[in-house]
Homo-oligomer: A and B are copies of this chain.
Amino acid sequence: MKFCSQCGSSRIVLRVPDGDNLPRFVCAECGTIHYQNPKIVVGCLPEWEGRVLLCKRAIEPRYGLWTLPAGFLENGETIVAGALRETLEEAHARVEPTDLYTVISLPQINQVYMVFRARLIDLDFGPGSESLEVKLCEEAEIPWESLAFRTITRTLRNYFLDRKQGDFPVRVSALERRPPLPPDLLAAG
């Protein structure tokens, strides 16, 4: 933030406002406090006769890697509506959400992922503009080494484990930054 979105001043300072305890971007000209907060990513894990629907990304980041249909929750939207919209946009798939399944905090990038399990309503799906390909995968067909995000890997791993137990409790967790590579691996590039 370089300019105040309310008055246009460039006198933006990072300071702790009165009565607050965290530094915020504050306009020294008009006093507006510019709060910044985490965003919510909502998505679905669409199921069809034991298989799950994955999308191959047609956009950065992680172009060409596989993901579940998911994206940023929009203003004016419930989390269920957002998950359905993303599934329709990215996989042209219509689903009936069953239950909230994983809730994963990503504090390093200021996001919270929320993935619903969902029943695919029919097989009339295909790639939206942000996907190269959409396909149903058996557990043995999941491209574990080519998944786009750790949130997706965790959600799918939990899913196949929980499915063996026949129970899908809501799984709340966090993914912190990856530990840095040890020096020998860093040196190896």
Chain A interface residues toward B at CB < 8 A: 1-8, 10, 19, 21-22, 34-40, 72-81, 89, 99-100, 103, 105, 107-108, 110, 112, 114, 129, 170, 172, 174
Contacts and interface: CB of A to CB of B under 8 A. Distances in A.
10 closest residue pairs by CB, A with B? A78-B105, A3-B8, A78-B174, A170-B170, A75-B110, A5-B5, A37-B39, A1-B5, A100-B172, A76-B107
Contact of A80 (B7, B19, B36, B174): B174
Copies in the complex: 2
Q: Which of A34, A105, A108 has the largest count of B CB atoms less than 10 A from its CB? A: A105
Q: Which of A1, A38, A39, A170 has the largest count of B CB atoms less than 10 A from its CB? A: A38
A38 B73 contact: yes
Nearest to A21: B89
A3 B6 contact: yes
